Structure 1
C-alpha cells in the first residue's frame, strides 16, 4: 500500500501508472483516506472494514473537496463504521433525501397541470366519455388554428379552456382569492362554462387534499359553495321538452336525416327515455331481439334492463353492423357516435321547432308518459331514476313483462300522435343478431 502524507502538491503530481486502471495514494494523517487516480480523474475515497467486508465510499473530486475537509469526512465515516453503520447506506439515504427535496421543490414550482393530469389518469376508468371530455375542454391550451369555419367576430385560433389560467399556476397558489377573481372574470364572459369549470376545479382540489403528495399544497377551501352563489348567475331549471302537438313535425324532420344511425339514435333516445351516453353506448350484445329486452349501462346502478319496444327494435335491426357498437361511426376514433346534436339542431330548424337538447328528449319521454296514465314508478324505472319513496325502494319489484306492457303503450301513444303506425313484432324484425 502506497502511503504518504497527502499534500496539494503531491495530489497534483500524482499520475496513473501505465497499463493500470486505477491507483491509490493513502494518507498518513487520516489512514482511511486515499486519493484514487483513474484515467482523467482524481477523487478522495474512504475505505475500511465492516463485518469483515471491505467498505469503500467515494467522498468527492479533489477539485471540489479541500484536503482538510476530506480528512474530516474520512474520520466521520470511520466513526460510523466503528458504530456498525455502513457509510454506503448512509450516503444512499442522504442522496435520496436530497433528491426528494429537489423533487418537492420542483413539484411546488410546477404548474398545477401536472397534478390535474395525474387526477384525470387516476379517475379515467370511473368517468364517462362526456365527463372526461369536459375535463379536457376546460384545461385545453388553446391558441391553435381552428379547423372548422369560425363564427362572426371569432378569432382564427382556439380559446384556452376556462381553467387553463389557474392550472398554469403552482397548485399552492390556487387559493380562494385567486379563484374568486378568476370566477368573476369568467362569469362575465361565459357563465355556463364557468359554472362547469368551477365544479370540476372543486372536485380536483378535494382529490388533491386527500393525496399525500399534494395535501400540503392544495387549498381545499378555495372553491366554497358560497362563492359560486355570489359570483355566478342564478341557475334556472331546464324545461326543454317536446309537446304532444310537436311530435309529427319532430318525427318527420328526424326521419329526413340522411345518416340513418343518427336518425335511429334520436328516435331511440326519445322512445326509451335513456340518457344520452347510455344510448350511445349500447352494444349489439346488449340487445335481445328474441325476448325483446335491452340492457343499458346505467350511470347510477351499473346496468338496467328495459323493454325493447317494437319501433325501437325495428330501428336497431335495420342499422349496419360495423363493429360492437349499435350506433357506430366509422369516422370516430371510438368507433361509435359522438356528436348527434348538429344534425338534431338542423332537423329542429327545418321543422320550425324550438331548441331542444338531447337530454330534452329524455325529459320529453317522462312528460309524455303521463298522457297514458303510466304509474310514475314505472316510467322512473324505465328511465333509470333512483326510487324516491320507501314503497318504491322496498315494495315494488316490477318484472320486465310489466314494464313492457306500459312501455309499449307509451311508444304506441307517442307514435299515434306523430301519425306513425307502431310496427308489429314481425315488422320490427325481431330476431337473434348473428355477429
Structure 2
C-alpha cells in the first residue's frame, strides 16, 4: 500500500483504478488515508481495536468522500474516530445497532461535507418539498417503486408535489446521493442496490443556450443602454472572462494584479474548490479601471469593502440582476441568463479553435482525464487564448474599442 503525504494538491493527482480499490496512507498522520475506487476517493481511518486482552481486530472506517468533504474536515473526524477505536469502541458495531432514517442520513451527510449555503438551501428545499413525509422512514424501507412513484408525482406540475420534470430529476439526484452516502458509510447498507439506480429519468434538462454571433451586436447595444453602469460592466466582465456569475459578482480588487495583469480567485471562493488564475486583457483592464473611477465618483465610495461590484445591501456586493436581464431582453429581443454569458465565452473559444485543455483551464473545470490533472499550466500560457477571445468579442460588438466607446446613462 503506497504511503504519501496527503495534501489538497496531492489528492487531485491520485488516479482512480479501473476496478477494485487502492489505499493511499498518509505518511505524516498514522491511520489516516484515502481509498481510491472506480467511483471516487474516500477518506478512511484504520486502527487496531483495543481489547482487554491487548490489540484486537483491525477496524477500517470510511469518513467521507472527496472532494465533497474537505481534507481538514476529514482529519478532524479521523481524530475523533481514531480515539474511539483506541478506547475499544467499534464504530461499525455501534452503527449496526440502528437503522438510520432518511432524516438521520441527511444530517450525517451534511456533517460529512463542506457545503455552500446555496447548496444547503437547495438540499433543504428538496427535503421539505419532495421528501418531507419520508423523513422518519428507515432508509432501508424506501423502495424502488416508492422512488418511481415520487418521481412521477414531482414531474406532474398539477400534482400535490408537482414542480416539473427538471425539478423531479434534480430531487432524485439529491436522494440518490444520500443512498450512495449510506452505502459508503453504513455496513448494513453496503450490499443494497441504490433504488434510484434504474430510474427512468425525464431527460437532460440542462440549459445549453448562449448568445449567438449574430445577436452579439444588439445584445451589447442593449447592455450599453442600461441605466446602471455597474450592471452593464458586470455583464461584460462575465462574457469576457467566462467567470461563473457568483464569482464575477463577488469579485474583489484584492484578487486583481494590474501589474502582472492577472485575476486570481481563491480556492474557497470557486465552485470546485480550486484556485482560478486568469490572465486579463487590455479590454478587461479598461472595464475594471472604469469601475474604480465610477465607485470613486458615486455614493458607493462610502461603502468600505473590497468588492468590484459593491452594494449597500447585507452582502456588500451585487446579488440580483434579474431586472437588468429583463431590460436587456426587452431592448434587444435576445433572451439570455447570466450563466449564458459563460457558455458564450466557451463557445467563442471553441469557434476560435482553442484546444480543449486550454478551454478547460480558462473555465476552471475539473477534468476527468488523469493526464490532464497532471498538467500544470502557467497563467501566461493562457494569455494568447484570452486575448484572442477579447478580440473576437471586440469585433462582434462592432466597435474598435468598445470598452472606451460605451457611454452608459
TM-score after normalising by structure 1: 0.57
Query: Corresponding residue for 2:340?
Result: 360
The alignment's C-alpha RMSD in Å is: 3.6
Query: Corresponding residue for 1:225?
Result: 197
Structure 2 residue 109 is matched with structure 1 residue 119: yes
Question: Does 1 or 2 have the higher relative contact order (CA < 8 Å, sep 6+)?
Answer: 2
* Contact 2:184/2:190 (8 A) holds in 1: no
CA distance in 2: counterparts of 1:260 and 1:324, whole angstroms:
18
CA distance in 2: counterparts of 1:118 and 1:391, whole angstroms:
34
Change (3 A) 1:397 1:117: closer
Q: How far 1:363 sits from its partner (Å)?
A: 1.5
Query: Corresponding residue for 1:369?
Result: 349
1:202 to 176, 183, 188: 176
Q: Where do 5+ consecutive residues of structure 1 fail to align? A: 1-100, 141-160, 429-435
Q: How far 1:237 sits from its partner (Å)?
A: 5.9
CA distance in 1: counterparts of 2:358 and 2:240, whole angstroms:
14
Change (3 A) 1:384 1:188: same
* Contact 2:180/2:194 (8 A) holds in 1: no
Residue by residue over 1:221-279, the C-alpha shift from the partner in whole angstroms, topping out at 9 and shown as x without a partner, is 3433321xx2x322266431111111112122223334444332222111112233333
Report how many aligned residue pairs link the two structures.
292
SS in 2 for 1:223: coil
Query: Corresponding residue for 2:312?
Result: 330
Max Rg structure: 1
Q: Where do 5+ consecutive residues of structure 2 fail to align? A: 1-93, 158-163, 296-300
Residue by residue over 1:127-164, the C-alpha shift from the partner in whole angstroms, topping out at 9 and shown as x without a partner, is 33442332132234xxxxxxxxxxxxxxxxxxxx2333
Alignment of 1:83-162 (within 5 A): 112-123=102-113, 125=114, 127-140=115-128, 161-162=129-130
Change (3 A) 1:365 1:208: same
Residue by residue over 1:303-350, the C-alpha shift from the partner in whole angstroms, topping out at 9 and shown as x without a partner, is 12111222322333315474243333332x443334434532442233
Query: Corresponding residue for 1:283?
Result: 252
Change (3 A) 1:264 1:166: farther
1:179 to 140, 147, 169: 147
Change (3 A) 1:343 1:115: farther
* Contact 1:270/1:361 (8 A) holds in 2: yes
SS in 2 for 1:221: coil
Alignment of 1:267-346 (within 5 A): 267-296=236-265, 297=267, 298-300=270-272, 302-317=274-289, 318=291, 320=295, 322=303, 323-331=305-313, 333-346=314-327
4+ long deviations beyond 6 Å: 388-391
